[in-house]
């Protein structure tokens, strides 16, 4: 009786100290996930999430202070990727995902004031003073910073049109549920 | 097929659907009267869309270049009728989405006047490069459905020193018989085209694989190939998907194309019989690719058969030509196994359109999908040796990477798995969905990387500008101070004087 | 003329008339001759037990579907619940009391199948799950075998008596017929220290035509075999699992019997008695719970066979097919992971083939 209690206790102690030592010496340095998270964000530093830039947003995500749905330009896809990385469940149906959007200039109203060009984080707007501006579709991240500064509301957000190259078959409706 | 043959001779992969090819295949080829108006899409091939070089109102002749190739992999477009360009606009694409794409509209003058052609009398005296160049200029693309520009494949075959040309006369899709018809009616064109292609790629032999359910085509091709021992007619078992490149290569040569390589890398190149005939016309007659044989078949069609029609003809015009018994319940471009469902019939036929199927209600019936019972029929049918049930199970729960680990990208979308599935699960749709999503994700990632670089560049630039501004400001300040300092000695004595005075 | 066709349906635009219902029906047809022969051998009680078990299995399935708010009839129409009940019924002692059938049938479809998510989702063969649950819970009733009293023969219970046997238990008048199966007898005698050479002289007859004590499914080995071969010809099952399983039983049996005939039963006795035939052709070949690749199936079948032999020879139970199949069922995901078919253009490990040119 005493023998078995003693041996079990000894084993417990031994294994426990092994675990303790292991946790001390094999501890993971700092939070490497922050860099990974930052890599998943669009990186346009648009500030729509409420943080100064993508690095700060990633830090908040890593600490669990911000929801994975924080990034409007990233949309559903980014939220999904973040949720998968952080291992959290998230109800994506509430993410307003009108699909990825990009800025569009209404040429009739544009006065060529150049304000939008200055705020665009990716230099996606081209033009010169008193010239109608234009958006380079491939470079626009859809951060909508330019929309806020446009004095004539010539800038607006429009969904990226679905093309033959982008169209995919929808997932078949499941037999169950 | 005999009882024992079922077990011994048939390949272990694939399926054997009822072929429904006759009576359409046996009906004589009909010539479609010149349509009033054609819509010639600018991307009827793999690669970059062609660029229009005609203006609205311009008169064109049949065979005249109306849009030129753009980029390394592309093909030019020619006028399929003579007449007037009436618009360069959009038309619904032959695509399940029903989205539009760019097309040139030509009002036919009904005369079908050909442009002056430049035939090559003896292609075998010309260099292979010249043959490839002329094929490219004639807009010849793979007519089996892949629509890959043929000249690009010629160059690839030449570069990799391909020894064997495989001429694909498999046509394993049920209902379709356009390749069958071209082999029966124009076997000399096919054989001559095959010999020209051999010359273009430097191959020493051509193996013509024809499914054994087309005895007439085999006989006609044998006769046409008689004078040319290097062109060998090889009947192959009728088994879907025998017309798929990889399966036909395996059946005819025993070679397997590595999953990350092209067929040319194992010394073979596959060209469709219709493509060979198109090469023959492009080289010997100087005719660009502006017409093709289209099978019109299905329960809703009154007189099913094959029609020789100009490209760009509206499907509705073709259907009116062969007559409809009833309103079709489903319209398909291509065969029933891999064909594209069409949302309506105001869609032009393109270079890769081998057939239009108008299904009646019974043919279009879709049984309700049930749960997977893991019977494994799909794995037995898969010609690629994949595990469709495992991939679909993962895609169903959104685990696309998991499906990729089961070699989803090796799937050729042949449809065998979904065909044999007793629970009628739309497996191909699962795979198409996953492949599309993965491609889009890859594209988004590239785009995000690009915008990130742009954003970083901008930040760096702003910082540099600010720094430069600050430096300039500092410099100016320093200059000002220096100037001040220079001016100061004159003033100092005065100050001292003042100080002294106050002291 | 123009017409719209609504939503696009993905290719392929054609399919077969095959369906789960057709597959289940054909399996039941293949099982029918052996079952009918069993009815004749063991009389009305066997028939009633069979009917009760199937009814309970369907009831269990319907109950679960109601809990899920799904319509039960279309799901029941696929025939899988009937087949599960049927397979369980033919593995029970033919004169077992009614509640054995009810408990087993309900257990099979509720905990064995629907708890996992229904058809296609269960890890273990539902019929065998129920059989093992019954065997562990009610060992007495589950090992009370009767000698055959063919229907309409003297001493066989009539329609009403048969019903009473099932509902109220075996009356004293029939007690005499209670007997042991071949495997059970051999095990008992061995445990008493009697070697097989002596004991087998008064053992129950090992009859190829099935006139011996046992369950419905174990008596007529040749009818089961015929049904299995018929399924192979109809391409419902492949030869891999049955052949490998029978080989897995026969090989060790042949070897050990040659080594020590006094301790180990001969190969024929092993292959023809117990659930070996039923297990090889109808139980282990269950699509849902067996591997998909031919190589995986060979390993699975052989494993079932060897485990059956091991359990029969050295474990506490005289029969081991159910345990063996369940153990191998648990291996199916692992086998499926490690034994995939070779992909075209890739080697067995999934790496692209080397270009030879």
Predicted local distance difference test score (pLDDT) of residue B500? 44
Cβ within 8 Å, pair C11-B341? yes
Q: Tell me: do B284 and B410 sit in the same domain.
A: no
Q: Is residue B250 part of a domain?
A: yes
| CA C78/CA C74 separation, integer angstroms | 7
Contact B330 C9 (CB under 8 A): yes
Residue B258 touches chain C, beta carbons under 8 Å: yes
User: What pLDDT does C187 receive?
Assistant: 78
pLDDT tens digits, one per residue of C54-69: 999 999 999 999 999 8
The span from the CA of C23 to the CA of B11, in Å, is 24
For residue B70, CA distances in Å to A165, B47, B88, B149, C258 come to 17, 9, 17, 12, 80
CB atoms under 10 Å from CB of B335, counted, come to 29
Out of C343, C352, C354, the one facing B385 most closely (by C-beta) is C343
pLDDT digits (tens, 9 = 90+) for B232-283: 999 999 999 999 999 999 999 988 999 988 888 899 999 999 999 999 999 9
Reported as a pLDDT band with limits 50, 70 and 90, residue A95 is low
Q: C212: buried, middle or exposed (CB in 10 Å: 19+, 13-18, 0-12)?
A: buried
B429 contacts chain C (CB < 8 A): yes
pLDDT in the model for residue C4: 62
Residue B161 lies in a domain: yes
**Residue of C4, C7, C10 to mutate, testing the B interface (most B Cβ within 10 Å of its Cβ):** C10
Q: Does the structure show a pLDDT above 60 at B168?
A: yes
Chain B, 442 to 471: residues with Cβ < 8 Å from chain C are none
Nearest CA in chain B to C232: B7
Half-sphere exposure of B255 (CA within 13 A, CB side): 21
With contacts defined as CB-CB under 8 Å, which chain C residues touch B203? none
Q: How far apart are CA C327 and CA C304, in angstroms?
A: 8
Residue C283's Cα: distance from chain center in Å? Answer: 4
Distance (Å) of CA C305 to CA B39, B175, C217, C309: 67, 47, 17, 6
Domain assignment present for B380: yes
Per DSSP, chain C holds a count of helices (H) and strands (E) of 17, 2
Question: Which residues of chain A are within 8 Å of residue B370 when distances are taken between CB atoms?
Answer: 175
- What is the token pair recorded at A160? 């990226």
List chains touching B (3+ CB pairs under 8 A): A, C
Q: What is the mean pLDDT of residues B305-309?
A: 95
Minimum Cα–Cα distance from A170: chain C residue:
C10
Is the same domain home to B159 and B278? yes
Which pLDDT belongs to residue B499? 47
Q: Which residue has the higher pLDDT, B23 or B500?
A: B23
Instruction: Compute CA distances C152 → A156, B465, C157, whole Å.
Output: 90, 107, 8
Of the residues A75, A103, A146, A167, the best mutation for testing chain B's interface (the one with the most B CB atoms within 10 Å of its CB) is A167
Average pLDDT, chain B: 90
What's the confidence (pLDDT) of residue A177? Answer: 37
The answer, for A172 touching chain C at a CB cutoff of 8 Å, is yes
Q: Which of B241, B263, B289 is the last residue of a domain?
A: B289
B265 domain-assigned: yes
Please compute the mean of the pLDDT values over residues C50-55 and round it to a whole number: 96
Please give, rounded to a whole number of angstroms, the shortest distance from the CA of C10 to a CA of chain B. Answer: 6
Q: CA distances (Å), B73 to each of A157, B44, B459, C60, in order?
A: 34, 12, 37, 62
Please state, as a whole number, how many other Cβ atoms lie within 10 Å of the Cβ of residue C80. 27
Average pLDDT rounded to a whole number, residues B28-35: 92
**Which chain B residue lies closest to C118 (C-alpha atoms)?**
B371
Contacts with A176 from chain C: Cβ below 8 Å: 118
| One domain for residues B285 and B377 | no
Q: Kind of pairing, strands B305-310 and B30-31?
A: parallel
Domain final residue, candidates B271, B289, B307: B289
What share of residues in chain C are helix, strand, coil (percent, to 5)?
60, 0, 35
Contact predicate B260/B135, CB 8 Å: no
Q: Which residues contact C267 (CB under 8 A, 6 or more apart)?
A: C250, C253, C254, C257
Q: Pull the structure tokens for residue C96.
A: 């077992």
C1 pLDDT tier (thresholds 50, 70, 90): very low
- Residue A89, pLDDT above cutoff 80: no
How many structural domains compose chain B?
Answer: 2
Q: Is the pLDDT of residue B329 over 80?
A: yes
Q: How many CA atoms lie within 13 A of B334 on its CB side?
A: 25
Query: Which of B267, B289, B311 is the last residue in one of the domains?
Result: B289
Chain A partners (3+ C-beta pairs within 8 A): B, C
Using left for φ > 0, alpha for ψ between -120 and 50, and beta otherwise, residue B59 falls in beta
Residue C173 DSSP code = G
Q: Is C260 helix (H, G, I), strand (E, B) or coil?
A: coil
Whether the pLDDT of residue C209 is over 80: the answer is no
Task: Among A44-53, B412-421, C166-175, name the one with the lowest average pLDDT.
Answer: C166-175
Partner residue facing B332 (CB), from C3, C13, C342: C13
> Is residue A28 packed enough to be buried (19+ CB in 10 Å), middle (13-18) or exposed (0-12)?
exposed
- How confident is the model at residue B86, as a pLDDT? 95
Q: Does residue B300 have a pLDDT over 70?
A: yes
Q: Under DSSP, is residue B482 helix (H, G, I), strand (E, B) or coil?
A: helix
| Rounded CA separation C64/C109 (Å) | 9
Structural domain of B227? 1-31+123-289
B213: closest CA of chain C, how far (Å): 19
Backbone angles phi, psi at B318, to 5 degrees: -65, -40
Residues B284 and B386 in one domain: no
Neighboring chain A residues of C10 at a CB cutoff of 8 Å = 169, 172
Does residue B142 share a domain with residue B273?
A: yes
Q: What is the ipTM of this complex?
A: 0.89
The whole-chain average pLDDT of chain C stands at 87
| Nearest one of C108, C109, C107, C105 to C96, comparing CA atoms | C105
Contacts of B96 in chain A (CB under 8 A): 169
Query: How close A164 comes to chain B (CA, Å)?
Result: 6
Could you tell me where the DSSP H helices lie in A64-114?
A: 75-86
Provide the number of CB pairs (under 8 Å) joining chain B to chain C: 175
Distance of CA C300 to the CA centre of its chain: 15
**Does C193 contact B at CB distance below 8 Å?**
no
d(CA B312, CA B91): 10
Three-point CA angle C126, C330, C318, nearest 5°: 70
CATH number of the domain at B212, please. Answer: 3.40.50.11540
Give the whole-angstrom CA distance, residue A123 versus residue A146: 11
Across B146-155, B349-358, B490-499, C306-315, least confident range: B490-499
Q: How confident is the model at residue A159 (pLDDT cuts 50, 70, 90)?
A: confident
User: Contact B258/C4, CB-based, under 8 Å?
Assistant: no
* Mean pLDDT confidence for B6-32: 83
Q: How many CB pairs under 8 A join A and B?
A: 85
The residue to which tokens 């019974």 are assigned: B362
Instruction: Say if residue B377 is in the same domain as residue B251.
Output: no
Average pLDDT on B354-370 reads 91
Show residues of chain C in contact with B98, CB under 8 Å.
8
Other chains touching C, judged by 3 or more CB pairs under 8 Å: A, B
Query: Is B436 in contact with A168 (Cβ distance < 8 A)?
Result: yes
Candidates B426, B448, B460, B465, partner chain A, best to mutate (most A CBs within 10 A): B448
Residue in B133, B199, B198, B134 with CA at minimum distance from that of residue B166 = B198
Q: Is B268 domain-assigned?
A: yes
Domain assignment of residue B363, yes or no = no
Q: How confident is the model at residue B2 (pLDDT cuts 50, 70, 90)?
A: very low
Check if B456 contacts A (Cβ < 8 Å). Answer: yes
**Mode of pairing for the β-strands spanning B305-310 and B330-333:** unpaired
**Which chain B residues contact residue C345 at CB under 8 A?**
246, 256-261, 384, 410
Token couple for A145: 């910073």
My answer on whether B386 and B277 are in the same domain is: no
Give me the percent of chain A exceeding a pLDDT of 70.
90
Nearest C-alpha of chain A: how many angstroms from C344?
A: 26
Put simply, the answer to whether B439 touches A122 (Cβ < 8 Å) is no
Give the whole-angstrom CA distance, residue A127 versus residue A136.
Answer: 11
Alpha carbons C156 and C148: distance in angstroms, whole number: 9
Question: How many Cβ atoms are within 10 Å of B7's Cβ, its own excluded?
Answer: 9
The distance of C102 to chain B (nearest Cα, Å) reads: 25
| Residue B69 domain-assigned (yes or no) | no
pLDDT tens by residue, C257-283: 999 888 888 888 888 888 899 999 999
In-domain check, residue B40: no
Average pLDDT of span B97-113: 92
Q: For residue C303, give the nearest of C239, C246, C245 by alpha carbon.
A: C245
Note whether B2 and B147 are same-domain residues.
yes
Quickly count: other Cβ atoms within 10 Å of residue A26's Cβ. 7
Task: Report, as an integer, the average pLDDT of C14-30.
Answer: 94
Which range (A139-153, B33-47, B141-155, C172-186) has the least confidence?
Answer: C172-186
């Amino acid at each position: 009786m005493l023998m078995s209690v003693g041996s079990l206790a000894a084993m417990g102690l031994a294994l426990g100290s092994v675990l303790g030592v292991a946790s001390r010496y094999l501890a993971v340095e700092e939070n490497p996930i922050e860099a990974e998270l930052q890599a998943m964000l669009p990186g346009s530093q648009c500030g729509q999430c409420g943080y100064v830039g993508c690095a700060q947003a990633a830090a908040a995500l890593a600490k669990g202070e911000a929801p994975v749905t924080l990034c409007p330009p990233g949309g559903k896809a980014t939220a999904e990727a973040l949720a998968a990385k952080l291992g959290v469940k998230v109800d994506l149906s509430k993410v307003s995902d009108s699909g990825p959007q990009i800025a569009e200039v209404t040429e009739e109203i544009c006065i060529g004031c150049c304000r939008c060009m200055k705020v665009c984080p990716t230099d996606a707007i081209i033009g010169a003073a008193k010239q109608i501006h234009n958006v380079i579709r491939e470079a626009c991240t859809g951060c909508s910073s330019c929309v806020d500064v446009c004095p004539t509301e010539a800038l607006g957000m429009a969904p990226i049109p679905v093309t033959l190259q982008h169209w995919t078959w929808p997932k078949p409706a499941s037999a169950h549920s | 097929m005999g009882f024992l043959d079922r077990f011994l001779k048939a390949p272990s992969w694939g399926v054997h659907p009822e072929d429904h090819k006759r009576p359409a295949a046996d009906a004589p080829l009909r010539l479609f009267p010149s349509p009033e108006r054609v819509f010639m899409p600018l991307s009827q091939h793999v690669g970059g869309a062609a660029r229009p070089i005609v203006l609205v109102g311009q008169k064109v002749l049949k065979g005249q270049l109306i849009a030129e190739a753009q980029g390394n992999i592309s093909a030019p477009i020619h006028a399929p009728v003579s007449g007037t360009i009436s618009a360069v606009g959009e038309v619904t694409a032959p695509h399940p989405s029903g989205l539009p794409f760019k097309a040139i509209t030509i009002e036919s003058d009904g005369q079908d006047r050909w442009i002056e052609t430049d035939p090559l009398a003896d292609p075998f005296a010309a260099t292979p490069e010249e043959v490839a160049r002329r094929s490219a200029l004639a807009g010849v693309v793979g007519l089996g459905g892949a629509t890959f520009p043929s000249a690009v494949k010629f160059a690839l075959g030449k570069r990799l020193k391909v020894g064997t040309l495989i001429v694909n006369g498999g046509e394993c899709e049920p209902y379709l018989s356009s390749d069958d018809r071209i082999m029966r009616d124009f076997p000399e064109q096919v054989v001559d085209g095959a010999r020209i292609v051999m010359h273009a790629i430097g191959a020493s032999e051509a193996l013509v694989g024809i499914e054994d359910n087309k005895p007439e085509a085999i006989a006609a091709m044998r006769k046409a190939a008689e004078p040319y021992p290097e062109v060998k007619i090889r009947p192959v078992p009728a088994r879907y998907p025998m017309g798929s490149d990889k399966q036909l290569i395996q059946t005819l040569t025993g070679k397997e194309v590595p999953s990350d390589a092209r067929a040319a890398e194992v010394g073979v190149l596959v060209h469709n019989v219709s493509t060979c005939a198109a090469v023959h016309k492009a080289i010997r007659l100087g005719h660009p690719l502006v017409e093709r044989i289209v099978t019109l078949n299905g329960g809703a069609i009154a007189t099913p058969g094959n029609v020789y029609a100009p490209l760009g003809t509206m499907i509705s015009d073709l259907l009116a030509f062969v007559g409809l018994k009833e309103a079709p319940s489903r319209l398909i471009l291509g065969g029933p196994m891999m064909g594209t469902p069409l949302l309506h019939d105001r869609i032009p036929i393109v270079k890769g359109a081998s057939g239009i199927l108008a299904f009646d209600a019974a043919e279009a019936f879709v049984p309700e999908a049930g749960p997977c019972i893991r019977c494994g029929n799909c794995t037995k049918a898969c010609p690629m040796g994949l595990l469709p049930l495992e991939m679909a199970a993962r895609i169903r729960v959104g685990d696309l990477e998991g499906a990729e680990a089961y070699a989803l990208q090796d799937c050729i979308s042949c449809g065998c798995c979904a065909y044999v599935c007793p629970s009628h699960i739309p497996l191909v749709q699962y795979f198409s969905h996953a492949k599309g999503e993965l491609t889009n994700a890859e594209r988004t990632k590239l785009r995000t990387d690009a915008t990130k670089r742009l954003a970083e560049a901008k930040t760096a630039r702003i910082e540099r500008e600010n720094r430069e501004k600050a430096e300039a400001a500092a410099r100016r300040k320093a200059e000002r101070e220096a100037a001040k300092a220079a001016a100061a000695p004159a003033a100092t004595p005065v100050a001292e004087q003042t100080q002294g005075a106050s002291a | 003329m123009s017409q719209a066709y609504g939503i696009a349906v993905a290719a392929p635009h054609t399919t077969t008339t095959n369906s789960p219902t057709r597959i289940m029906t054909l399996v039941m047809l293949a099982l029918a001759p052996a079952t009918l022969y069993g009815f004749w051998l063991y009389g009305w009680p066997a028939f009633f037990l069979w009917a009760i078990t199937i009814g309970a299995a369907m009831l269990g399935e319907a109950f679960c579907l109601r809990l899920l708010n799904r319509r039960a009839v279309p799901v029941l129409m696929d025939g899988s619940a009937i087949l599960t009940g049927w397979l369980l019924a033919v593995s029970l002692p033919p004169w077992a009391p009614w509640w054995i059938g009810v408990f087993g049938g309900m257990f099979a479809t509720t905990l064995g199948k629907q708890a996992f998510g229904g058809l296609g989702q269960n890890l273990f063969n539902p019929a065998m799950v129920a059989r093992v649950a019954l065997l562990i819970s009610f060992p007495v009733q589950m090992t009370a075998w009767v000698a055959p009293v063919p229907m309409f023969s003297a001493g066989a219970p009539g329609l009403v008596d048969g019903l009473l046997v099932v509902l109220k238990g075996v009356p004293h008048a029939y007690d005499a017929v209670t007997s042991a199966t071949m495997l059970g007898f051999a095990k008992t005698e061995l445990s008493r220290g009697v070697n097989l050479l002596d004991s087998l002289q008064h053992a129950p007859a090992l009859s190829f035509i099935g006139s011996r004590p046992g369950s419905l499914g174990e008596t007529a080995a040749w009818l089961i075999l015929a049904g299995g071969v018929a399924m192979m010809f109809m391409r419902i099952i492949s030869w891999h699992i049955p052949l490998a399983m029978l080989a897995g039983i026969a090989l060790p049996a042949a070897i050990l019997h040659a080594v020590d005939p006094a301790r180990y039963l001969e190969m024929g006795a092993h292959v023809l008695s117990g659930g070996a035939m039923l297990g090889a052709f109808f139980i282990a070949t269950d699509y849902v719970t067996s591997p998909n690749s031919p190589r995986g199936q060979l390993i699975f079948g052989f494993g079932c066979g060897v485990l059956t032999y091991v359990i029969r020879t050295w474990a506490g139970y005289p029969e081991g097919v159910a345990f063996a199949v369940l153990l191998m069922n648990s291996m199916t995901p692992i086998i499926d992971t490690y034994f995939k078919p070779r992909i075209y253009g890739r080697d067995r490990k999934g790496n692209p083939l080397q270009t030879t040119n």
